[in-house]
A and B are shown apart, each in its own frame.
Chain A
Amino acid sequence: MNELLIKNACVIDPLRGINAETMDIAIRDGRIVEEVSGAAEVIDAHGALTLPGGIDSHTHICGTKVNFGRYMSPEDMRAGRTPRRGPLHATSGYSVPTTYGNSYRYSVMGYTTLLEGAMAPLEARHTHEEFTYTPLQDTMANVLFDGNWGVMEAIRDGDIKRVAAIIAWTLRAVKGFGVKLTNPGGTEAWQWGKNVSCIRDPVPYFEVTPAEIIRSVVEANELLHLPHSVHLHCNNLGTPGNYTCTLGSLGLIPDLNRKRQTLYATHVQFHAYGGSGWRDFCSKSEPIARFVNMRPQIVMDMGQVMFGKTTTMTADGPMEFNLYRLHHDKWSNHDVELETGSGIIPVIYRRKNLVNSIMWAIGLELALLTKSPWQCLLTTDNPNGAPFVRYPEIIALLMSKRYRDAEFATVHPDTAARVPLPAIERELDWYEIAVMTRAGQAKALGIQDLGKGHLGPGAEADIAIYPLRIDEVDPSTDYRKVIEAFGRTEYTIKRGRVVARRGECLVDGSNATFWVRPKVSDAYDMGKDPDFIEKFDRYYTVRMRNYPVQEEYLNRNRCIETEAAI
């Protein structure tokens, strides 16, 4: 029996409505309990800010595309190199660090759970292998269905239950967690070198539109009673004027679920652009935020851009090609048969660049203009907008108008005419930050009942204690202290064990992988469906029996079973 008692913690625990109460937290065998014995090890938090472990609900850290980002970027690897030390392995890389680099750096920032935003089913085994080497966080992966032939054919046939059945079979086979649509339809069109222009533009050959894909998959997702909603990367990422497409996509979504949103729209910053081209490019954060404020069924994440070098990587192959044509730097693309694709290019976001400056502003605006922090979560779409190590700066920007103004003074001078940011006075408080970095994520992912994102009895003892007293620090003025504190916990506790202390990781942990197995009736078991099997064997280059990810690949296996309505 392992017991730990954290005393004098200043707790913000939004899922339980606790806002800055000083209390003790008792932990036994990795879970939070009402009380522990006198033999428990004691940590005195001395009133420091104590939050549930951070959760990143959209990041790219493991899998084929991420690894290709590393593979093609030895120059990136020259930054961030650390040697092996004690139980810790060597790390390399800045924007696309090694798995250990990701894990240690997230841990030092108090993050204990990560969702890989895009996993191609055919290559899922790779993602799971990398999860094993991401030792200090629990992990889960969204599975890409944007160009799935079976799904598109079922949609064309108007058979939503079959859509659900294919999703169910695939999630189970690849040990996936949620349903991801990246540029729905566009990734299939890209396998012909084409794209779809917006949600009404049909996919070549399959003759379904992105709108139909989004609507059908959302319905199927709810038929399967998945913990998470559909996770959507809208069409037309990164193009001027794309906000109308984004609004159109969000407008497709009914409110179908009482416990959580019906749609998670990711990295919306990249989808909130006005203008007819780069010359009149401008922010459209206001209409987007206004729209989301009226629709509880939508949750989004920021996709904040921060200035500096990074590597962009997404399943959105055509978008990356367009970026390549703008930047003329190196470009990788990887189409995956019958399923999806991906692209990668390195970028540098520059303050002196007007477009980049506007992008930087839009992410912040979305967070500040969205009334409920539960509806706009903090991300950079790591590493697309910036590497996640920039999160503390983003927190500080959201909490301090003064900091924003200071930064704004350094960006391209024409930015002010294109964005509403300078006029926004709002400063987020500690509670709202706690929502945007853990509680909101847990709720949006539907994992709060699994003990994630809160500190109530029964919860997993994933805890971040930051070296900061909120009664002593005014984030509006002391934003440097905020950055420092969120960059380096006093303690990061993972499943009841101290894994990081003052910037140093201490152990080589052992994580868990969450995945979902929807239980469907025999009639909807695609493993027994002759048509599905026949097409699989004809068009895939991997045998159907060799496709599913074996349980050997799941380190600590947390299967979530759902009762599907099919």
Chain B
Amino acid sequence: MTFLMITGRTVNQGVTVEKKTSAAYAEETSTCFMHEFDMLELGLADLDTVMLTGVCGTVVMRAVASGEVEMGTVFVPYGPYANHIIAADTHSTGMPDFKSHEVEIEPTDEEPKSVHGLMEDLGGLAYDR
């Protein structure tokens, strides 16, 4: 199914933001908040893993039902997971489309990677793994 992905701040993202290599940060920023009807349609229960596919890649997250999002949209806290599929085009304004990204979402058996894993996929080397 196609969704509009919105990213944004959450308290938990903020609380863990200075601990980027912690499990708590990874957990928060790999959460895909969805409308419960959308989850039903995809056959998802809370914390099931989902594969998000954007124009420039895929990433695995966990789906969580939220009353704050509308059907057809998903909300993901700012962080490396969402950015793994966000395109870098800024429309020449300096600012990518962090709040309006079309993504395909489907259930998956894969587990979300660690933040280190994501960074290493892109050519980095984890320091304190």
Direct contact of A and B (CB under 8 A): no
| Interface residue ranges, A against B (CB under 8 Å) | none
**Residues of B that sit less than 8 Å from A by CB:** none
